[in-house]
Amino acid sequence: MGKTLTEKVIEEHLVDGKSERGTDISIKIDQTLTQDATGTMAYLQFEAIGISHIQTELSVSYVDHNTLQTDFKNPDDHRYLQSIAAKYGLYFSRPGNGICHQLHLERFARPGKTLLGSDSHTPTGGGVGMIAIGAGGLDVAAAMAGESFHLKMPKVVNVLLTGKLPDFVAAKDVILEVLRRIGVKGAVNKVLEYTGPGIKTLSVPERGTITNMGTETGATTSIFPSDDITKEFLVSQERGDQWVLLEPDEDAVYDETIEINLSELVPLVATPHSPGNIKTVKEIEGLKVDQVCIGSCTNSTLRDLKISANILKGKTVNEHTVLTVSPGSRQVVDHMITSGEMAYLIEAGARILENACGPCIGMGLAPKTDAVTLRTFNRNFLGRSGTKSAQAYLVSPETAAVSAIHGKITDPRSFGKFPEIIMPEKFMVNDNMIIPPKAGQESIEIVRGPNIKPLPEFNPLPNKLEGELLLKVEDDITTDHIMPAGAKILPLRSNIPEISKFVFNLVDSTFPERSLEKNGGFIVGGENYGQGSSREHAAIAPKYLGLKAVIVKSFARIHLANLVNFGIVPLTFANTDDYAKVEQGDNLEIDLTTIESGNVALKNLSKGTEINLTHSLSVTEINVLKAGGKLPFIKQKHS
């Protein structure tokens, strides 16, 4: 029986377990990446482990999220990150150099390697044939210390592509079509593996767009083969020697198959407030647009900006619409300036932003009250833009650029002739904004600003948990609901006491105060609790407030792991109908003495009832919980 590409790469890196679907495995991690919103905490955790030097083949610290410097906090964190990189042997990508996933694809991603990143869109690396997985910062810190990464062996879904994309239909529409079919939780504990003749029509940047936003399906990761298209890309980036041929066996057996004929796709749009709310652009055409944003780690490549610029050439952005453009890297900017195409954007009226995440995470450029904002980003969660009343729509660069001209959502196929663009055979390679590791730096002093606070201490897990049900929420609660981002909150990522004041700010602003007053308690949620970002602050900040357990119908993968990492017990209803049997304010008691059996009893002391709970935790995860979290668990191993 033949093997999938996913199986081949995972089996090459297996440390524990067998590649049998649903079983617990651990894999060796070759590379890691962090960004500054999650990295500061990750490196505080790495320091606490006590390892003198990174144990991976390559680790990179990027600065791309917190680049809006309204006071000392962000620049202080950047200096901390730079000193950490120098001391422990990491590459450091300086502020303004570009977005981590775009840069990693250009400069470091390698076929057949494993990559763990403290950002949920790390699967971008799957565009060159990596197993690239997003995780919490503590998991990344552990990987840098030489620990293997634990996960359940995922099912592998064959996304079989045929045909070729028509003009004005883009790679973004491919992943929007996948989301239209399976939704935001249809690929939980699965890998989306792309095959078929259609993949030969997609460049590596286009493949990266698809694997990047595959995260929104709940997938563990997404992956394309490493083929002649991959080789061409790596050669153009002066990394041809890193190419290897990696493909699934012809008789590979997949758990599921999704067939997509690229030739039949049309421009699509994700409507508010979920990447899974998919419609055709035609269905909502004519809606007035106040803001258009082109960029993000999903759509800031040279190809994306060239298409946008050539659509806008000789045109002017509608007088009622603001257009912003965020290039993904300095390499992209260099090419756009050299070719003269940057001038097309400027002359059309686009506001050219820094090579950073920017408005995607609410870091500046928030839209006006009740705005319709059209974005080439990957998420349109409520309030993520920085304006709670705004309506965010996700589209391709083609749809965004044409809509910016008309001032309303417009099917780009009405534009006329599709612009021809010329991609370079060789990219301009200039790594002068990436500081490589140097030998003999162990004596470097770590720079810590006043906003960087010590990690909280967490105690071992008791046998019984008691407390109040502090909050009951519905399905699809995101990490943006739990721990919002944005210009006000992101700079507090290294200060847990301060950032904890904003937990569930979009849902119930009284939650932090009530949690502290009640000495912590419980949360109950619906399906897919914790979808979205890898931000571990959505676990560690509630833990600081005293959160003891989260009881839901189902969890998103990364958030479940983060809860375990910080000693919060993640439990699910054995019968989802029991969700209705608890109410906010109830006093609950959970007996954990039977947790090894997979079943746990929940007593509702307010109602005098008992509910059966279960979990999907491995033996290792249970031991991590008992130790109080992953950091004390690792310390026990090394003591």
Where in the sequence numbering do the catalytic residues fall?
64-65, 119, 379, 533, 535
231: Cβ contacts below 8 Å, ≥ 6 apart: 240, 243
Task: Kindly provide the b/e burial profile for residues 188-212, where b requires at least 16 CB atoms within 10 angstroms of the residue's own CB.
Answer: bbbbbbbbbebbeebbbbbbbbbbb
Tell me if 545 sits within 8 A of 468, measured CB to CB. no
CA distance 42 to 137: 4
CA distance 384 to 478: 11
DSSP codes of every residue in 261-289: EGGG---EEEPTT-TT-EEEHHHHTT-B-
CA distance 5 to 225: 7
DSSP state of 28: -
Q: Which among 347, 415, 346, 406 is positioned nearest to 374, based on CA atoms?
A: 406
CA distance 234 to 127: 12
Sign of the CA dihedral running 304, 301, 558, 260 = positive
DSSP state of 514: H
The alpha carbon of 26 is separated from its chain's Cα centroid by a whole number of angstroms, namely 21
Q: Which among 400, 372, 308 is positioned nearest to 346, based on CA atoms?
A: 308
Owner of token pair 């083929």 = 227
Owner of token pair 């090459």 = 12
Kindly give the interhelix angle for 137-144 and 557-565, rounded to the nearest 10 degrees.
Answer: 70
CA distance 505 to 492: 15
CA distance 346 to 127: 30
Q: Which among 507, 625, 505, 613 is positioned nearest to 568, based on CA atoms?
A: 625
End-to-end CA distance of the chain: 44
Task: Kindly provide the b/e burial profile for residues 474-484, where b requires at least 16 CB atoms within 10 angstroms of the residue's own CB.
Answer: eebbbbbbbbb
Tell me if 22 sits within 8 A of 151, measured CB to CB. no
Owner of token pair 């914790």 = 530
